[in-house]
Amino acid sequence: MTASKSPKNILLKSAILTASVLALAACGQKPPPELPPAPTTNTGPSTATTQTRPVETGPVPGSQADFLATVSSDRVFFDTDRFNIDTQDQQTLQSQARWLSQYPSKRIIVEGHADERGTRDYNLALGERRANSAKNYLVALGIAPSRIQVVSYGKERPDALGSNEQAWAQNRRAVTVTVE
Amino acid sequence: MRFSILISPIVVVALAFGFAPGIAQAQIEAEAPAQDDPLRGSVTDDSSDNIITISVPGLPTPQSAQTPAGSTDELGARVSDVIVADLRSSGLFRPLGRNAVRAISYDEVTTPALSYWRGRNNEALIQGFVRAMPDGRITVGCYLYDVVLGTELARQGYVVEPADWRRAAHKCADSVYSRLTGESPFFDSRIAYIAETGPKDRRTKRLAIMDSDGANHRFITNGQATALTPRFSPDYQSIVYLSFLNGSPSIYIYDVDSGRQRRVFSTSNPTFAPRWSPDGHFILFSMAVSGNTDIYRISAGGGEPERLTNAPGIDVGGSYSPDGSKIVFESDRSGAQQIYVMNANGSNQKRISFGGGRYATPEWSPRGDLIAFTRVSGDFRIGTMTPSGGNIRLLTNSWQDEAPTWAPNGRLIQFFRTARGSGKTSIWQVDLTGKNARQLRTPVDGSDPSWGPVLP
């Protein structure tokens, strides 16, 4: 058999290799680094983004897929036992607020999480506190609190499976999910 | 689906000293030890001088009879195995079961061959019998002898349904344990816990119950909603626990007899960390309101909760002193989790933990003399301190040991251990010296154990 020498398989291998390298790079950082969003002069609704979106091939406007494709990230990250919104988190939440302003009928759930290094009950409270931090920031940006529900999963739903600093940093998060 | 556990008080009968063993002599065949020892992974230091060597031959029967749980011969062998496993798990005994000692005749039960046992380095001897009764129940006789002094120390008879033979064995072990240690009994008790299966990021967590030694295991919830932190009510009729049934964490009371459950307090806020008061009349719980978590008290029957703490930050996980007058809880009001004590009405809140690291999940001993906790300092370790915060002792040393629960006599602590990486969990038991740690056998992974009181 010489199938492995066919160009198709070499391409496939190459693609897998690239994906592996990207995956390794993705879990090498503390929180997955996000590119800063395009500079904005205000935190209110932006109309510029709608003009640049490729409407023919993109996700359905207002859908969860559209949300994920539009915002700089669906999640913010926290330091151990902390729940403050830092500069990077602010930019992430600003991009979420812009999207929410475009679709004023959409509601969201903010899911708060903790890493595995805290005790169970405390982590439920900590996840709640983190989700509320994200909610409060969105409210400060003009999003109606009635559109935002929070839920804490404590340490029950880790995103990264390892028991190391990188995994813990990825798991200390508040994730915004749109309600379909 | 209806799950029911029947807990009827065991009839204890006094066995007359002139008790006649009857005619038939049932010789118990020595056989390989049954796979009945639910505790494994022993790290007991058996060389300790304080460990009592005690022989537990199989219990003969005056006349072999069939019961729904097996013949009285078989039951006699299994009762002996359970007594052996119980005594070994306490860390205070070196029990020699029927695989290690000779069988005895029914006649010997009340006339032990003391010189024989004395010659075999025994300090104590447990003998007994299993007898079928005309009404379908069985009587399990239980005799304790001091081999060195040649005296009888205790005798009890337990009349039970054949299906409850394990409880009779636990009662016998409890009687021996109490007589020889001076401590309160604890073997005849039950545990509620969380049975875990599945991958780390999508763990299925089901409410489950079992006897203190892992037997009579039963799943209560089906796992569709994540269940956490169960606690048996003092009368074993109810289990309070946390469920994500309606999407967010909320506490429920599950009624064991009816199989029905209800929310303890209807609110859009998350409620968690439920605990019973010692009299079963109240439930402590924590509720987060806009990110601020405080401890509340509510009647077990419902009504309006009373707020007990109001510090900014996270106050969570209260546990009553045995007399109900005080509550120990954890709070991060100082900047990190520490342990505090307050009066039952919330007044006079005082921090008691001042060692290095964070202190969490305090549980007041049923004896009142100690508070068990999880110390978080990178690793999680189980430890104890006095109610004033003194005499801190760490009992375990693993990557992550969490959530202690006390044996009803306050002499052993169960907790759960999480494996680094895989997230697999297991339930463990340790004595107050920390020298005797054992894993409890469960059908699947287990966490959040909660030990109930001794059964009537």
pLDDT digit string (tens) for B394-420? 999 999 999 999 999 999 999 999 999
Tokens, residue B331: 């709070």
pLDDT tens digit string along B55-86? 999 999 999 999 999 999 999 999 999 999 99
Residues with Cβ within 8 Å of residue B242, at least 6 apart in sequence: A124, B227, B228, B229, B249, B250, B251, B252, B271, B272, B273, B274
B201 to chain A, any CB pair closer than 8 A? The answer is yes
Facing A125 at nearest CB: one of B248, B293, B423: B293
Spatial strand order of the sheet with B238-243 comes to B227-232, B238-243, B250-255, B261-263
Distance from CA of A47 to the nearest CA of B (A): 32
Q: For residue B316, which residues of chain A lie inside 8 Å, CB to CB?
A: 121-122, 125
Estimate to the nearest angstrom the gap between the alpha carbon of B165 and the chain centroid: 18
pLDDT mean across residues, chain A: 80
Q: What is the mean pLDDT of residues A87-112?
A: 97
Query: Least CA distance to A117: which residue of chain B?
Result: B378
Q: What is the mean pLDDT of residues B356-365?
A: 96
Q: Name the architecture of domain B52-181.
A: 3-Layer(aba) Sandwich (3.40)
At residue A96, what are phi and psi to the nearest 5 degrees?
-65, -40
Burial zone of B229 (CB within 10 Å; 0-12 exposed, 13-18 middle, 19+ buried): buried
Q: For residue B201, which residues of chain A lie inside 8 Å, CB to CB?
A: 157-159, 161
Q: What is the mean pLDDT of residues B287-299?
A: 96
In total, the C-beta contacts within 8 angstroms joining chain A to chain B are 92
Give me the residues of A, 26-45, that contact B with CB < 8 A. none
The secondary element (H helix, E strand) that includes residue A120 is helix A120-140
> Which of these ranges, A60-74, B39-53, B136-150, B201-215, has the smallest mean pLDDT?
B39-53
A159 to chain B, any CB pair closer than 8 A? The answer is yes
Q: Distance between CA B445 and CA A62 in Å, rounded?
A: 42
CB contact under 8 A, B228 and A81: no
pLDDT tens digit string along B153-166? 999 999 999 999 99
A125 to chain B, any CB pair closer than 8 A? The answer is yes
What are the DSSP calls for B351-401, one per residue?
Answer: E---SSSEEEEEEE-TTSS-EEEEEEESEEEEEEE-TTS-S-EE---SSBE
Task: Please calculate the CA angle B25-B29-B34 and round it to the nearest 5 degrees.
Answer: 130
Burial zone of B118 (CB within 10 Å; 0-12 exposed, 13-18 middle, 19+ buried): middle
Residues with Cβ within 8 Å of residue A171, at least 6 apart in sequence: A113, A114, A115, A116, A155, A158, A159, A160
Helix (H/G/I), strand (E/B), else coil: A41: coil
Topology of the domain covering B189-454: Neuraminidase (2.120.10)
Task: Tell me what percent of the residues of chain A surpass a pLDDT of 90.
Answer: 67
pTM score over 0.95? no
Estimate to the nearest angstrom the gap between the alpha carbon of B393 and the chain centroid: 21
CB contact under 8 A, A128 and B332: no
CB contact under 8 A, B361 and A121: yes
The secondary element (H helix, E strand) that includes residue B241 is strand B238-243
Distance from CA of A20 to the nearest CA of B (A): 21
CB contact under 8 A, B332 and A122: yes
At residue B441, what are phi and psi to the nearest 5 degrees?
-80, 125
Residue B292 pLDDT: 95
pLDDT tens digit string along B229-245? 999 999 999 999 999 99
- CATH topology match: B52-181 vs B189-454: no
What are the DSSP calls for B284-343, one per residue?
Answer: EEEEEETTEEEEEEEETTEEEEEE----SSBEEEEEE-TTSSEEEEEE-TTSS-EEEEEE
A124 to chain B, any CB pair closer than 8 A? The answer is yes
Facing B402 at nearest CB: one of A119, A128, A159: A119
Does the predicted interface ipTM exceed a cut of 0.90?
no
Q: What is the mean pLDDT of residues A91-95?
A: 98
Q: Distance between CA B231 and CA B327 in Å, rounded?
A: 16
Q: For residue B402, which residues of chain A lie inside 8 Å, CB to CB?
A: 119-120
Diameter over CA atoms, chain B: 75
Across-strand partners of B275?
A: B284
Residue B311 pLDDT: 93
Give me the residues of B, 279-308, that contact A with CB < 8 A. 286, 288, 290-293
pLDDT mean across residues, chain B: 90
What are the DSSP calls for B120-166, one per residue?
Answer: TT-SEEEEEEEEE-TTS-EEEEEEEEETTTTEEEEEEEEEE-GGGHH
Q: Distance between CA B421 and CA A32 in Å, rounded?
A: 20
- For chain B, the domains span 52-181, 189-454
Helix (H/G/I), strand (E/B), else coil: B255: strand
Residue B38 pLDDT: 45
Q: For residue B378, which residues of chain A lie inside 8 Å, CB to CB?
A: 117
Tokens, residue B42: 């022993």
Query: Least CA distance to A148: which residue of chain B?
Result: B290
CB contact under 8 A, A152 and B400: no
Q: For residue B337, which residues of chain A lie inside 8 Å, CB to CB?
A: 119, 122
Tokens, residue B402: 């969490």
| Cβ atoms B36, B82 nearer than 8 A | yes
pLDDT band at A56 (very low <50, low <70, confident <90, very high): low
The torsion angle over the Cα atoms of residues B109, B111, B113 and B115, rounded to 10 degrees, is 140
Cα–Cα nearest to B397, from B40, B43, B92: B43
